């Protein structure tokens, strides 16, 4: 009873960002505070810890059955952290990822079903879409309670926000309780997929689709078209966009007509250098930005430029190396019969398409958690 209540609270607060940020020395790159490097304790993290705790006995039993794999990954994590650019930064990144993986394992061991999480997921999604609509209409944040749920305070004049020109109007893209509109769109894309797979009522899918469109994320809309409208084979999509993701590293000099695209392409060349500098173990989990700061010219050492490469797979390769990719591939191959099921392949296709153009599946807690929640339900 208590565990079910905790689970529903976790799912409800999944899209929120209420947290306590810390700013140790390693949270700076080139002397600049970087949000991605700030160790943060989120409210939802506390709920997850409470949810995991009563299930520790079952977790330990599972770990004993998989002791060899656990030992291999423990050695890899230790080497990746200690030999990385910023060991303490990597330690905190691994700590969060391990917490979320334990959450995923707990969901699997408890055999959580769609019916258990449907109501809180729909309720919280409805709230973030309503907030998104308000932000779009008012071209600014709502504040109040939403501030405590993670909404960032901003107005039309705030610099550095995602903007769009629409029939001569300069509009700020709404981001709801997320750090960026693209992250919001990715989250809504996975929620829509869960609604689609579980044949939920039409109004719920219309609501989520509306939020997805208003987020104005080109990558998320492309994924929606290819998977839900054109219904191209998910295995083919996954293979094609994974190949495209890795091919980008050889195409850093593409001509870009938009500044945002140019900024993203700019990071491909440093990403290639970072991968070459540490091909086996990577530069350490969470250490792409510290590595990037030593490669950019002084005029580019600005908060807007100090960000991960907008490519989920190249970012993973740069931080964990080819050994990390190999271990992840072995893990996937071990579960291949479950992964090639159409339900799960559809999820992989969405991640492959959006991951080819952004990094939020690797860097942002909200996107990691909705992905793990979806995976636990579909496997």
d(CA 291, CA 282): 10
Question: Where residue 354 falls among pLDDT bands split at 50, 70, 90?
Answer: very high
The pLDDT assigned to 262 comes to: 55
The per-residue pLDDT for range 122-167, each reduced to its tens digit, is: 999 999 999 999 999 999 999 999 999 889 888 887 776 777 766 6
CA nearest neighbour of 117 among 266, 36, 7, 202: 7
The pLDDT assigned to 255 comes to: 44
The per-residue pLDDT for range 37-86, each reduced to its tens digit, is: 999 999 999 999 999 999 999 999 999 999 999 999 999 999 999 999 99
Q: Whole-structure pTM over 0.85, yes or no?
A: yes
Most distant CA pair in the chain, distance: 62
CB 162 within 8 A of CB 218: no
Give the number of residues written for the chain: 379
The per-residue pLDDT for range 244-269, each reduced to its tens digit, is: 999 988 765 554 444 455 556 778 88
pLDDT higher than 80, residue 305: no
The per-residue pLDDT for range 193-244, each reduced to its tens digit, is: 999 999 999 999 999 999 999 999 999 999 999 999 999 999 999 999 999 9
Question: Where residue 333 falls among pLDDT bands split at 50, 70, 90?
Answer: confident
Residue 172 phi, psi (nearest 5): -85, 130
The pLDDT assigned to 264 comes to: 64
Per the structure block, which two tokens stand in for 289?
A: 């930005």
CB 149 within 8 A of CB 141: no
Domain boundaries, the chain: 2-378
Highest mean pLDDT among 282-296, 299-313, 332-346: 282-296
d(CA 289, CA 26): 11
Mean pLDDT over 266-284 rounds to: 94
The per-residue pLDDT for range 83-111, each reduced to its tens digit, is: 999 999 999 999 999 999 999 999 999 99
CB 132 within 8 A of CB 214: yes
């Amino acid at each position: 009873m208590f565990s079910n209540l905790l689970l529903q609270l976790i799912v409800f607060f999944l899209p929120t960002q209420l947290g306590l940020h810390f700013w140790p020395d390693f949270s700076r790159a080139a002397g600049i505070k970087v949000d991605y490097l700030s160790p943060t304790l989120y409210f939802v993290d506390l709920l997850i810890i409470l949810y995991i705790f009563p299930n520790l006995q079952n977790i330990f039993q599972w770990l004993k059955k998989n002791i060899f794999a656990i030992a291999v990954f423990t050695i890899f994590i230790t080497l990746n952290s200690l030999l990385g650019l910023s060991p303490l930064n990597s330690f905190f990144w691994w700590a969060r990822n391990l917490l979320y993986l334990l959450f995923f394992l707990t969901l699997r061991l408890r055999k959580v079903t769609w019916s258990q999480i449907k109501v809180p997921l729909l309720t919280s999604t409805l709230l973030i879409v309503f907030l998104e609509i308000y932000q779009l209409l008012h071209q600014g944040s709502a504040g109040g309670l939403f501030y405590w749920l993670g909404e960032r305070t901003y107005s039309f004049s705030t610099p550095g926000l995602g903007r769009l020109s629409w029939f001569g109007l300069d509009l700020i893209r709404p981001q709801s309780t997320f750090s960026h509109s693209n992250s919001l769109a990715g989250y809504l894309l996975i929620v829509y997929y869960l609604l689609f797979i579980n044949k939920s009522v039409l109004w719920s899918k219309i609501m989520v689709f509306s939020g997805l469109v208003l987020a104005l994320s080109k990558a998320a809309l492309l994924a929606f078209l290819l998977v839900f409208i054109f219904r191209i084979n998910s295995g083919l999509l996954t293979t094609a966009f994974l190949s495209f993701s890795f091919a980008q590293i050889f195409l850093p000099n593409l001509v870009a007509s938009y500044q945002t695209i140019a900024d993203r392409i700019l990071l491909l060349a440093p990403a290639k250098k970072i991968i070459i500098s540490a091909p086996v173990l990577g530069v350490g989990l969470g250490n792409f930005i510290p590595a990037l700061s030593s490669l950019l010219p002084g005029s580019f050492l600005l908060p807007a430029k100090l960000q991960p490469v907008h490519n989920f797979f190249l970012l993973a390769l740069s931080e964990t190396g080819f050994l990390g990719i190999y271990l992840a591939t072995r893990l996937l191959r071990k579960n291949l019969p479950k992964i090639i099921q159409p339900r799960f392949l559809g999820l992989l296709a969405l991640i492959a398409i959006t991951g080819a153009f952004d990094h939020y599946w690797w860097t942002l807690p909200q996107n990691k958690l909705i992905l793990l929640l979806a995976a636990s339900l579909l496997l």
